[in-house]
Amino acid sequence: MMKLIRKVQVKNSLGLHTRPATVIVQLLQQSASRVSFTYRRETINARSLLSILMLAASKDARLTITVEGEDADAQQTMSRLVDAFENSFGENGNYGYQC
C-alpha cells in the first residue's frame, strides 16, 4: 500500500466542467485505488462526478491529487491522471469544448 500526493494545474480553458469530469471518472473506473482531489480546502472523492463538478475549478486552478492503493495500481492511476490534466483532457486549449 502506498499514498501518492501530487499537485496539478487545470490547463483547459473552460476549467473542470462536465466533460473533463467524465474523463476523470471514466479513467478511475480502471483503478482500484482510493483517489481524492483537494481544491480550496475542499477534499472530494474523485470517483464522484457531482463532487468534481462541485469544485468548479477554473483554468489555472491548482488541485492536489491523493491516490492511496496498491503500489503498482496507485502509481499507474496517478500517472494517468496527471497525463489527463497535462493533455487538457483531450480538449483544445483555445476553444475548449468540442462537439
Partner 1 sequence: MYKVQDLYKEHGNKLSLKLVAGEGGMQRRIMVPEAQRPGLSLSGYLKNHAAKRILIFGKVEIEYLRDLKPAVRRSRLKKILFDMTPAIIVARNYRAPEELIMLCDDQNIPLLRTSMQTMDLLSRLTLLLMEAFAPTVSCYGTLVEVFGVGVLIRGDSSVGKSEAALGLIERGHRLVSDDIVKVKRREGNHLEGCGAELTRHHLEIRGIGIINVAHLHGVVCVRDTKRVDVVVKLEAWDDHAFYDRVGLDEKFCDILGVKVPFHVLPVKPGRDVVLLLETIALNHRLKDMGYNSAKEFNTKLLEMIAFKKETRAEK
Residues that bind partner 1 (CB under 8 A): 18, 42-45, 47-51, 53-54, 56
Q: Which of 17, 24, 2 is nearest to 85 (CA)?
A: 24
Nearer residue to partner 1 within complex by CB, 42 or 60:
42
500517472: which residue's cell? Answer: 79
- Output the smallest distance, CB 62 to partner 1, in A: 19
Q: Which residues are catalytic?
A: 17
CA distance 82 to 63: 11
35: enclosing H helix or E strand: strand 34-39
Nearer residue to partner 1 within complex by CB, 36 or 95:
36
- Output the smallest distance, CB 16 to partner 1, in A: 12
Task: Determine contact, residues 12/57, Cβ cutoff 8 Å.
Answer: no
Nearer residue to partner 1 within complex by CB, 67 or 92:
67
- Output the smallest distance, CB 54 to partner 1, in A: 4
Task: Determine contact, residues 8/65, Cβ cutoff 8 Å.
Answer: yes
